[in-house]
Structure 1
């Protein structure tokens, strides 16, 4: 392609943003990263995503693409001359898309572990672990959800590895004990520079979570 302008509006601890960062890195796409302050949203974010006013937003030659799974699919379809994320087989493609949507349930149940307090923590922990085990069943004995290489579902899910430490601290459990296949998968993914350099550092994420809890009076 001719010269292209690629800009990513993002927020460093966002699992959704990490998806896009990994996808761009996998494709070898150079881009300008613009960190966003979600407490004081920038004019460019409000202009490029006026409906939801959320990150991540990919701006490709001045045109915005919003919602992280849409962005990853867009990256896969636009830069076709490089590695591909979605299977060519239609059934496998739509299975990957279905389970990528399911990842939202995992993210949501994980968020409840550190953002809610009260007597239902055991239920919240059980729901989260159950959602991980559901994905373990989909992973099976494959190294990646995409089979022999990283694929769409891997990219959709990988940002969660940065949050495991936070979930474990608040939920008082070990992910490696509860979902060993998921941890083995994370270790495979982290061997890839496109992943290791794109996801946030777990201790930094934990510090961020503590700050958010303090802000909302949960500490």
Structure 2
């Protein structure tokens, strides 16, 4: 729905960046969702797309503990909720985010050390149960 609104009224209030590179980063959830809603070749393509997006994001970490910063900020706050879905993506698409994107996992673990983050994210096993429905 949000993508539809963004496309229909893009001149009024764009929801996605106009730059294709930045837009692909914004579509991380869609790439992840496809890893558990598709099978066969489509699932393999989704897995590849998801890993490519994560690798692109890892490049943005540079040598910082958080995205483009020494401190936890807006970008981190926006991205960390996706971490609790990784277990479901891995389970359905049979791959390991940690094996493919270790820098991103290290970032997520740093974020999860923050009490406010750890208390506010749903348990990854509950998300897996949601996906199984």
TM-score if structure 1 supplies the norm length?
Answer: 0.50
Residues 156 and 102 (structure 1), Cα distance of their counterparts in 2 relative to 1, 3 Å cut: farther
Long gaps (5+) in structure 1 = 1-50, 53-68, 70-97, 212-219
Does 2:122 correspond to 1:200?
yes
> Greater helix percent: which structure?
2
RMSD in angstroms over aligned alpha carbons?
Answer: 2.2
- Deviation >6 Å, runs of 4+: none
* Count of residue pairs the alignment pairs up: 117
Contact kept, 8 Å, 1:166 with 1:209, in 2: the verdict is yes
Q: Once the 2 structures are TM-superposed, how far is the Cα of residue 104 of structure 1 from its aligned partner?
A: 2.9
Q: 1:163 aligns with which of 72, 85, 102?
A: 85
Mapping of residues 170-181 of structure 1, within 5 Å: 170-181=92-103
Higher strand share: 1
Which TM-score applies when normalising by structure 2? 0.80
List aligned pairs for 1:52-71, cutoff 5 A: none
Instruction: Please list the CA deviations of residues 73-118 of structure 1 after superposition, one character each: whole Å capped at 9, or x if unmatched.
Output: xxxxxxxxxxxxxxxxxxxxxxxxx95x654311110000111234
For structure 2, list consecutive stretches of 5 or more residues without a partner in the other structure.
3-14, 16-20
Deviation per residue, 1:62-82 (Å, 9 max, x gap): xxxxxxx9xxxxxxxxxxxxx
SS at match of 2:65: coil
Larger radius of gyration: 1
Residue 153 (str. 1) matches residue 75 (str. 2) = yes
Match of 1:115 in 2: 37
Looking at structure 2, the residues matched to 155 and 103 of structure 1 have their Cα atoms a distance apart, in angstroms, of 15
Distance 1:197 1:102 in 2: 29
* Structure 1 counterpart of 2:63: 141
